[in-house]
Amino acid sequence: MYGIVYGLFTVLFLIFVWYYGIRDDRQGDWNQTPTGLAGDIEEKYVMVTFQSGLDYWRTIMKGFEDAAQSLNVSVEFRGATQYDPNEEITVLEQVIARKPAGIAITAINSEALNLSIAKAIKAGIPVVLFDSGAPKSAAYSFLGTDNYNAGMQAAREMGRLLGGRGKVAVITQPSQLNHEERTNGFKETLRQEFPSMEIVQVADGKGDIQASERAAEAILAKYPDVGGFFATQANGGVGIGQALKDRGIAGRIALIGFDTDKGTLDMVKDGTINATLAQGTWNMGYWSLMELFHHHHNLVQPGNEDLQGNHSLPPYIDTGITVVTKANVDQYYAK
């Protein structure tokens, strides 16, 4: 009898300890609100572009805005209206003078912005590059497409379309690093993997539909047997496509474009453009702001990991590429 009573009291005591001790402690941990990463709405980050009216920037800006909403900070977008390095330098200098929490910038030229970027870093303003880089600058990171690899993919798609033989041309923007890398990847892959294919001309489309159309017309007049075109930029693909339509040969000449603006997607859908390369543009914007936030709040250190275990963010993030054809084009229209 005494054993039963003693056992009962022991059980009740253990229940009491669990209920008012261990259980309450665990509930307190579970109910605690996680702080996470959070800034101040007065904390402003700025994205700087060139040719600010391009549709291409919209998804990048959306990623930047989504990250800002997650972090409870503010963002602003500034850009040169033209394809003009001097204008972008002026815009960047104006942004630096306002001392934002951080700057994400796409470099119109791989060298032109280096002094201004160094000035921002010296002033304590973190800078990251996206989409088009400046390897010799003081910027902490570059977030964008592996452009050489994108050119390789375009070359292999062109080789497939033309059966590994024929003449092709490239319309690009020669002074911009990302376009140079795409062109080099395309040229070197054709030379190594498709020796029966020849690049007859690399022309400057100036990032403009009309200029690219004129460049394509000149190539078609000079090389009437050209079998394909590769455009390293969205407006280039649309301009070439228009030239092919005007001559009534759209769909008979292979055309590979770049990016997923509506004009390009429409031409993929109607068969004028055989394929276009979609970049991870939202990733560029989102992770650019995340990196700037970490640097502004001293959550990481620029450069390599030090002896105290302070970590740096990756100096390069490949935001990915996807080949878009008529088979999957509908997935890329803005919803």
What does the pLDDT look like over 96-115, one tens digit per residue?
A: 999 999 999 999 988 999 99
Dihedral sign computed on CA atoms, order 274, 277, 281, 282: positive
Residues 111 and 194 in one domain: no
**Helices first, then strands: H and E counts in the chain:** 11, 12
Percent with pLDDT over 90 in the chain: 77
Indicate whether 137 and 209 sit together in one domain: no
For position 11, what pLDDT does the model report?
A: 39
* pLDDT at residue 237 greater than cutoff 70: yes
In Å, what is the CA distance from 242 to each residue of 78, 92, 218, 255, 273?
Answer: 31, 35, 13, 11, 10
The verdict on 167 and 265 lying in the same domain is yes
Residue 54's domain comprises 44-145+281-300+309-320
Beta carbons within 8 Å of 14's beta carbon, 6+ residues apart = none
Domain-located, residue 8? no
Which CATH number characterizes residue 118's domain? 3.40.50.2300
Are residues 130 and 98 located together in one domain of the fold?
A: yes
Assess contact for 139 and 317: CB atoms under 8 A. Answer: no
Would the pLDDT of 246 be above 70? yes
Which range is least confidently modeled, 60-64, 82-86, 121-125? Answer: 82-86
Question: Do 252 and 196 belong to one domain?
Answer: yes
Q: Does one domain contain both 194 and 120? A: no
Q: DSSP class of residue 33?
A: P
Block residue for tokens 């936030």: 293
Strands 321-324 and 275-279: antiparallel
The pLDDT value recorded for residue 300 is 75
Same domain, yes or no: 240 and 193: yes
The contacts of residue 118 (CB under 8 Å, 6+ apart) are: 137, 138
Do 201 and 269 lie in one domain? The reply is yes
- Identify which of 106, 81, 82, 103 has the alpha carbon closest to the alpha carbon of residue 93: 103
> Residue 176 pLDDT more than 80?
yes
* The pLDDT of residue 82 is above 60: yes
Task: Assign 302 a pLDDT band (cuts: 50, 70, 90).
Answer: low
Residues 75 and 197 in one domain: no
Q: Is residue 268 in some structural domain?
A: yes
Q: What is residue 173's predicted lDDT score, i.e. its pLDDT?
A: 92
Residue 42, pLDDT > 70, answer yes
* 171 and 155 belong to one structural domain: yes
Residue 33 counted as domain residue: no
Same domain, 231 and 271: yes
What confidence tens digit (pLDDT) does each residue in 217-230 have?
A: 999 999 999 999 99
**pLDDT of amino acid 4:** 44
Contact 126, 146 (CB under 8 A): no
d(C-alpha 60, C-alpha 130), whole Å: 9
More confident residue, 7 or 157: 157
Confidence of residue 309 (pLDDT cuts 50, 70, 90): very low
Tell whether 267 and 286 lie within a shared domain: no
Counted domains in the chain: 2
- Flag whether 97 is in a domain: yes
